[in-house]
Amino acid sequence: MQKIILVGKPNVGKSSLFNRLAKQRIAITSDTAGTTRDTNKAVVEIYGKSCIIVDSGGLDDSSELFKNVKKKTLNEAKNSDAIIYMVDGKLMPDDEDKALFYELSGLNLPIALVINKVDSKKDEARSWEFISFGAKDVFNISVSHNVGIDELNEWIEKQLKDEIKADLSDDFDDFLDEYDDNGEISVENFKDKNIKVGIIGRVNVGKSSLLNALVKDSRAVVSDIAGTTIDPVNEIYEQGGRIYEFVDTAGIRRRGKIEGIEKYALNRTEKILEQADIALLVLDASEPLSELDERIAGVASKFELGIIIVLNKWDKSQIEFDTLCKDIKDRFKFLAYAPIISISALGGKRVHKLYDLINEIYENFTQKLQTSKLNEVITEATKTHPLPHDKGKSVKIYYAVQFGYAPPKIALIMNRPKALHFSYKRYLANKLRASFKLSGVPIIFIPKKRGEVSDEEQ
């Protein structure tokens, strides 16, 4: 699929135009220069033709971090099919913008000069100063007022070859699943579905390095500066005939340390987790576990995902693996089902083993449990440890039925469903894990009274 990249210096409105073209708010926008540090991608349709629009980081040499961002942006531009170079129409053209435009023009790709923030007659008169760029295709627009976007769309459409309309499910940011009329996705829909993986953890634990190692490319900007990743960085990658959709989310800080645009990043991280299948919870093995690590683990468990605990920077760890695993199990009791793997993302050590784990957990996450065996396990469990009485009356589970997937959702048909204690649910979950392959995934029990079960759940 053809790729159109938005390029320009910081704070010219690239992310706002990206959101406008994508018809949804994907990139974080703010008045803070340098908000976008990694590239964002979205599949969009322009007058019946599909393409990938890329929102790039601003071209800026003010620090080592932003020099790295600039380098990645220019490399991404070289691998694109057309370039939209954006400038700020509120300012006079400068030599740096002109030099960058000339450099990109030398790639012999279609390139348009887009002058943003042209909101008045005065701005329009100033835009004539940009004639010195020598651009063939020039557009005056105002993203905030939706002016000039149609003309720009016409230019983009002309650069695109006729092709079959894209399947928008390829867009990483489209996390919408296909549900049946009952609101639950059928297990058949999971067979060829892309696996959506969110990479989470506190700042500077190596999430971006892990994404780069997983896709074998310098996809995310890596820096020693904590909080480098602001926008979620997405990447679609094929391995062994399977499609994986990875998102490197912004690092989470202690609540009192969240500043400025990072509060938007935190909200976006939670949105990603809502729509993912599996979370890679990245911990820094070279440092002691922190209260913040526990909080982040709790956030991941809240969204009922498949979870893998990834001990990164293992080459710098001074702790025995078994000792650290015991500490994690003690502190993250609610994630007792999650497997733990040690890696070194920067060196690429053992990263390939994550794919095997992801595949295994996805199978567990989406499996249909055999009904007869499910009830056999539940019956045996209740015989071994009967349910506690409720106000002197016996509590019974008549039968169990799986009614949902991702993760497995099981209705327990009972005489007194409100009497089922969470500790007994945990006991039943442990019994099921001993009989089925359920490593890495939560099990959701829904107690219901007889007669409350729909036809779909029987």
Binding site as annotated, residues for GTP? 8-15, 55-59, 116-119, 201-208, 248-252, 312-315
Q: Which of 203, 310, 297 is nearest to 252 (CA)?
A: 203
* SS3 sequence of 38-49: CCEEEEEEECCE
Question: In one letter, which amino acid is 55?
Answer: D
- Which tokens is 48 given? 């019946």
Are 116 and 12 in contact by the 8 Å Cβ rule? The answer is yes
CA 111 vs CA 13, 70, 103, 126: distances in Å:
17, 18, 11, 21
3-class DSSP string for 85-151: EEEECCCCCCHHHHHHHHHHHCCCCCEEEEEECCCCHHHHHHHHHHHHHCCCEEEECECCCCECHHH
Q: How far is CA 66 from the centre of its chain?
A: 23
CB-CB neighbours of 81 under 10 Å: 16
Contact call for residues 304 and 265 (beta carbons, < 8 A): no
In the three-class reduction of DSSP (H, G, I as helix; E, B as strand; rest coil), residue 402 is classed as strand
User: Annotated binding site, which residues?
Assistant: 8-15, 55-59, 116-119, 201-208, 248-252, 312-315
